Amino acid sequence: MDRMTTPRAGSIADDKPDKIIHPVMVRITHWINAIAIVMMVMSGWRIYNASPLFDFRFPSELTLGGWLGGAIAWHFAAMWLLVINGAVYLGYGLYSEHFKKDFLPLRIADLIADTRAALTFKLDHESGHYNSVQRLLYLGVIGVILLVVLSGLAIWKPVQLYYLTSLLGGYEIARHVHFFAMSGIVAFVLVHLTLVILVPKTLPPMFTGRAYRKEMESQT
């Protein structure tokens, strides 16, 4: 008869996942959103190059679509993917109270303290918990994505959606709003990737959804 043995400390059993920190809906919408944003930005740069707002153009190697018509097709395909996925995410976030539990409350005092800690590389990162800087960034990028969609619609249909175009200050100003909103999304992505590089343990849970027991115990 085989003897039952107890797993020793440091064995494989210690790494057994036991806490879900990213629900499956959050993970799915996160990666679809990432794909849509990359498609929108790269095709948007190609569209920008056809009629630049400023005295520079983006390298063609960083653009998508090959030519203006192709870039516009990619851009609108990505836009609808972003809108539909965003609606699903917002609906889930409100229904499941994901926003309330993970992004709120957002207090000024906590934000100042966490920003100071981040600038001195002393900001702790706990799996499954968003600090004040992360909460502000995530809430902010949701607003910026909404702005980039609305300004894009105003540019696309300035006559049919004249009220939206007028609200944004007219066609030319709407183009600038769209450009800077896009730039804000790119800045968020760069900060997001930098944080992942600095704290690589945050990446696996975005695929698996789980934090491991050993990691959770090391944070207590």
pLDDT at 7: 44
Handedness of CA 90, 96, 97, 103 (dihedral sign): negative
In sequence order, the 6+-apart residues with CB closer than 8 A to the CB of 75 are 39, 40, 43, 44, 47, 65
Task: Give the Å distances, CA to CA, from 106 to 34, 80, 92, 189, 196.
Answer: 25, 31, 20, 21, 22
| 3 within a domain of the structure (yes/no) | no
Q: Decide if 24 contacts 209 (C-beta within 8 A).
A: yes
> What's residue 133's pLDDT?
83
Q: Are 85 and 32 in contact (CB under 8 A)?
A: yes
**15 domain residue, yes or no:** no
Tens digit of each residue's pLDDT, the chain (220 residues): 444 444 444 444 455 545 778 889 999 999 999 999 999 999 999 999 999 999 999 999 999 999 999 999 999 999 999 999 999 999 999 999 888 888 888 888 888 888 888 777 776 666 667 888 888 888 999 999 999 999 999 999 999 999 999 999 999 999 999 999 999 999 999 988 887 887 788 888 888 888 755 554 444 4
- What pLDDT is stored for residue 8 in this prediction? 47
For 139, the domain range is 20-211
Q: What does pTM read for this prediction?
A: 0.81
Is residue 13 in some structural domain?
no
Q: Answer whether residue 217 is part of any domain.
A: no
What CATH number does residue 152 fall under?
A: 1.20.950.20
pLDDT of residue 11: 45
- pLDDT confidence of residue 92: 93
Predicted confidence at residue 127, as pLDDT, reads 65
Q: Is residue 35 part of a domain?
A: yes
Q: Residue 8: inside a domain, yes or no?
A: no
Q: Distance between CA 193 and CA 66 in Å, rounded?
A: 27
Residue 44 within a domain:
yes
Kindly state whether residue 6 falls inside one of the protein's structural domains.
no
Total domains in the fold of the chain: 1
